[in-house]
Homo-oligomer: A and B are copies of this chain.
Amino acid sequence: MCRMKLYSAQLSGNCYKVRLLFAQLGLEYELEEVGVIDRSNRPELLGALNPALRVPTLVLDDGRSLAESPAILQYFAEDTPLLPEDKFTRAQVAQWLSFEQYEIEARIGLARFLLEISPVEPPSMGFVTYLQQGGRTGLEAMEAHLGGGRTWFVDDTYTIADIALYGYSHVAPGAGIELDPYPNVLAWQQRFREQPGHIGMMD
């Protein structure tokens, strides 16, 4: 029987979210590491699987492909405790998945890529500052939501919303954003790392 195959980049927070979910669900898969700097082989490698040519791209055990971390997280977490069944609760999880894509990944993830990963100079430092400010606004929203004693982001239960939000928020220092002003976020990240089956981004 064919196993699932995940096209993944170790440094990508989006790929890390999927790897962490699979680790915590005990799902087996084959991993193919894909470069994030030289992308010249992506049309050949991913063209038939994902028109966006991005990772994570997953090939299911029946050969069908699925991309984008929020879609993969929701697909595999369904019918597990990581995605409660209640319709409104699932909508709240989707809300945080979307928030993360726009406010955290597209700001912190991109600033980190420009500062720490890409060998090319950022188009301007004003751009990086703009992204950092956006990332801080996102972290402030997370800090406010966790305030008042929340343990996890949705329904006080560990869900894929937490996995998604951890992916790039925990590498904010790589984007030039220190996390000290966000004590609720730091405490939540510590709780997150203590969950059974946790793996780190570089594991």
Q: Is the CB of A98 within 8 A of B71?
A: yes
Q: Mark A38-70, 1 if CB is under 8 A from B, else 0.
A: 000000000000011100000000001011111
Of B52, B99, B130, which is within 8 A of A99 by CB? B52
> Please, which residues of chain B bring their CB within 8 A of the CB of A149?
none
Q: 30 pairs across A/B with beta carbons < 8 Å?
A: A51-B144, A52-B103, A52-B141, A64-B88, A66-B92, A67-B99, A68-B94, A68-B95, A68-B96, A68-B99, A70-B97, A71-B94, A71-B95, A74-B94, A75-B91, A78-B87, A97-B98, A98-B98, A98-B101, A101-B102, A101-B106, A102-B102, A102-B105, A123-B124, A123-B126, A123-B127, A123-B130, A124-B124, A124-B127, A127-B130
